[in-house]
Amino acid sequence: MFNLKKKDLKELDLMLLFSTIALSIIGLVVLYSAYGGNIKPILTQLFATILGFIIILILCTVDLDFIKRSYWYVYGLMIILLIMTLALGRGLDEWGSRSWVYIGSFSFQPSEIAKVGIIFSLAAFLDKHKFDVNDRKTLAKIILMAGFPIGLILLQPDFGTAMVYVFFVAAMIFIAGISWKWIGIFAGLGLIIGFVVLTNLSGYRLDRIENFLDPSRDTSGSNWQQQQGLIAIGSGMLTGRGYLRGSQSQYGYIPEKETDFIFSVLAEELGFIGSIIVISLFAIIIMRLVIIAKTSKNTFITNMLTGIAGLLFIHIFENISMTIGLMPVTGIPLPFFSYGGTFQLISLINIGLALSASMQKKQYDDGIIDEENLNLINVSVLSQ
């Protein structure tokens, strides 16, 4: 499991590491302000951050080729967690979905943990079938493998998180080499399903779509959150109102300012300059993930990093876009900023896997090609 011989410390992606450290520190600082200068509520976030960086150090010594062999066990564990959420989950009245599992006073969100497990498992499966990904039977297995956890999340019901899964799964399958014929078919099916879903929305989900289409609608009710978030962002102007001095943030005008709308706190108090610095750091992380994936000769690592990049990108894009009115409001948190120990820990684990991958880019273990890979190579050669 641990194999330092396969790691090249000189290849460690320092830009990815330092950008993550910077965002984690800024995130804690902004979260402290979102809680009005109260340190007690962010101790969980601080603990998750410290634990996350310890796990990063451990992951940097892990042989990814070794642990990928257990991907079915990882996948099975993720499915068990999601099924457990349906049976024991709480939060339907507060957040509209049974997403949280409580063990005594400790709580966690299994769907967040499952993200990294599904990415890891699907990456290994796509690597195993890299030469027959467009075969109908193989593609059916891939869709079933990815679709089952998405279906379980929809049953919670957590539509926003399910869409996050759809995005990074689609990115992984695309990079794995799916043909344009299948892309066209799935895109068509997606449009049909999307139309059916949109025409059958009700309650707060319908309100969010209608508020997005008409920003002036119900500004004192269902659209209050986004309107107050926009006011906060606009009032920050170039340099911001000052740390701990944002009127919208400090006087409780913005609902969920510690989680979904924490970017509004950042923009109000640190202004356009602070926002651009944070967005630039996010861009560096996504760019480095793409570069590591592109330059790796290990298809498993390429698949996995594509999923991680897709996961972080959709979180960043959706969260920031909804606060500035470019997307409907959803419960999608901002990595390294939004409160949530589970989400913070999983975000850092994803970075740890990427840093480990940056030091390990060989295709096969110790240069040895096993029988399965040899058969796949022979098939590829014969097909040419």
Q: Are 278 and 26 in contact (CB under 8 A)?
A: yes
Does pLDDT of 273 surpass 90? yes
**Cα–Cα–Cα angle for 7, 309, 211, rounded to 5 degrees:** 160
What is the model's pLDDT at position 165? 93
Question: What does the alpha-carbon distance between residue 275 and residue 204 come to, in Å, rounded to a whole number?
Answer: 29
Does pLDDT of 370 surpass 50? no
Residues forming a β-bridge with 100: 90
Torsion of CA 239, 244, 246, 248, to 10 degrees: 150
| pTM listed for this prediction | 0.89
Mean pLDDT taken over the chain: 86
143-194: pLDDT as tens digits: 999 999 999 998 888 888 889 999 999 999 999 888 889 889 988 988 898 8
Does pLDDT of 382 surpass 50? no
85-99: pLDDT as tens digits: 888 877 766 666 778
What is the model's pLDDT at position 213? 81
46-74: pLDDT as tens digits: 999 999 999 999 999 888 888 888 889 99
Q: Are 80 and 69 in contact (CB under 8 A)?
A: no
Does pLDDT of 5 surpass 70? no
Quick one: average pLDDT of 33-40? 90
Question: Any residues with CB less than 8 A from the CB of 229 and at least 6 apart, and which?
Answer: 248, 254, 261, 263, 264, 323
Binned at pLDDT 50, 70 and 90, residue 3 comes out as: low
* Per-residue 3-state assignment (H helix, E strand, C coil) for 127-184: HHCCCCCCCHHHHHHHHHHHHHHHHHHHCCCCHHHHHHHHHHHHHHHHHCCCCHHHHH
214 or 141, greater pLDDT: 141
Q: Minimum mean pLDDT among 185-189, 200-204, 230-234, 329-333: which range?
A: 200-204
| Phi and psi at residue 84, to the nearest 5° | -60, -35
Does pLDDT of 366 surpass 80? no
Question: What does the alpha-carbon distance between residue 135 and residue 199 come to, in Å, rounded to a whole number?
Answer: 34
In the chain, count H helices and then E strands: 16, 2
Does pLDDT of 4 surpass 80? no
What is the model's pLDDT at position 298? 87
Determine the distance from the C-alpha atom of residue 248 to the mean position of all C-alpha atoms in its chain, rounded to a whole number.
28
* Bond from prior residue into 157 cis (ω within 30 degrees of 0): yes
Question: What does the alpha-carbon distance between residue 79 and residue 122 come to, in Å, rounded to a whole number?
Answer: 13
Question: Any residues with CB less than 8 A from the CB of 241 and at least 6 apart, and which?
Answer: 235, 247, 268, 269, 271
Does pLDDT of 374 surpass 50? no
Q: Are 247 and 235 in contact (CB under 8 A)?
A: yes
* Nearest Cα to Cα of residue 64 among 142, 6, 149, 132: 6
